[in-house]
Structure 1
Amino acid sequence: MSATATTVTDEPVEDAAEVTYDTVFFTLSNPRRRYVLHHLKRHKDAVAVGELATEVAAWENRTTTELVSNRQRKRAYSALHQTHLPKMNQLGIINYDRERAVVEPSASIDAIDFYLEVVPQNSAPWHEYYLTLGAVSVALFVVTWLQIIPGLSPLLTAGLLAFGVFGTALYHNYTADFWKLGQPETPPSLQYDAVPFARDEDGET
């Protein structure tokens, strides 16, 4: 059985690359790549790797850019420069100029337009809320149709159902923006990342 080696290059990818599920899952599998993606989607401009490393170091160490230590900054810079940015460049998510130490969003970055639905403990995902809302709506319709509750008119039932659906959808839309990469000031998954900094695939931190 033969193995095929994959070479990671630092040449900028000019054309929009196809963003596959594998590309998305790989990019999101590491907190540092998520932070890079969040920063670029939020600011839309080219950024120096040193500045990006400072931002990433601040996020992963739960501090501010002013309080990031040299050791934390160098650790983030090394991981980005040697591992994450070349891989993201190869996938077509970013354009990384290694010689100039500058990274910018590629034409494909907007294709990754999604939000991370993080379900806290003792909470439920949105599809379960909508399933519950649907069950309540059906039950209310049956109660009204059979006139089990006197005085519950079809108009009142329709109004309750309309406000219930609209209110739930409105709140869902509000929370969706909060969990979308590039929308809030800090990455949406920041409070749920289990470790202060990520261990990269090559064993470096």
Structure 2
Amino acid sequence: MTRDEIFTVLSNRRRRWVLHYLKQRENQRIDLRTLVDTVSAWEFETPADELPWKKRKRIYTALRQSHLPTLDDAGVIEYDRSRGEVELTEDARTVRMYLEYVPDDDIPWSQCYLGLSGVAVAITGLSWLSVYPFADLSGLALATILAVTFTVTAIVHVYHTRRGRLGMGGPDP
């Protein structure tokens, strides 16, 4: 599948929601009704059991006639139309990186690490030049401070990255 085909497949929010939901239930065949209820609830921001059937029927029709066949043709899902069941395929991994979204409040991590590296170089230089209060830092203390700083930053980075992964959290994709 080409990059353009992937973007075309993922250009619709309902298709992204389908993939998001299926990723949450990886290796499970999902009943179409369950999928319709979930996507309807996400789209209308209302629990499915509180939605009138007309609203759910619109989602059902769009999924059944358009979105699920499109995803199936792309090889991302396996859609058994006669049984009304859907399952994520191994090929979904191909599009996974395109589904990983970057939240609006995300930190530009490359700039963060570049900034930390600059601070580390500055502290090391100040320590080497014996500038107060860095003059009395031993090599081990300096290494410990820098290692802890980068470790904590990496942990925060991993946490933020996992928030945006497919199948994690709510209906953002």
Q: Smaller-chain TM-score range?
A: 0.7 to 0.9
Q: Which runs of 5+ in 1 are unaligned?
A: 1-18, 191-205
| Superposition misfits of 4+ residues, deviation over 4 angstroms | none
CA-to-partner distance for each residue in 1:27-78, whole Å, 9 max, x for gaps? 3322111110011111121122222111001011112232232122112111
Matched, 1:39 2:35: no
Q: Distance in 1 between matches of 2:104 and 2:24?
A: 23
Shift of 1:106: 1.6
Q: Distance in 1 between matches of 2:101 and 2:37?
A: 24
- Whether contact under 8 Å (2:9, 2:74) holds in the other structure is no
Q: Which runs of 5+ in 2 are unaligned?
A: none
- Whether contact under 8 Å (1:94, 1:103) holds in the other structure is yes
State the match for 1:158 in structure 2.
143
The total of aligned residue pairs comes to 168
Shift of 1:174: 1.5
Indicate the RMSD between aligned Cα atoms, in angstroms. Answer: 1.9
Matched, 1:179 2:161: no
TM-score by length of 1: 0.73
SS in 1 for 2:78: strand
1:121-140 paired onto structure 2 within 5 Å: 124-140=107-123
**Percent of aligned pairs with the same residue?**
36
1:28-177 paired onto structure 2 within 5 Å: 28-44=10-26, 45-114=28-97, 115-120=100-105, 124-149=107-132, 150-177=135-162
Q: Which amino acid aligns with 2:67?
A: H
Q: Which amino acid aligns with 1:182?
A: G
Q: Which amino acid aligns with 2:25?
A: H
SS in 2 for 1:103: strand
TM-aligned CA distance change 1:36 to 1:136, over 3 Å: same
- Whether contact under 8 Å (1:58, 1:65) holds in the other structure is yes
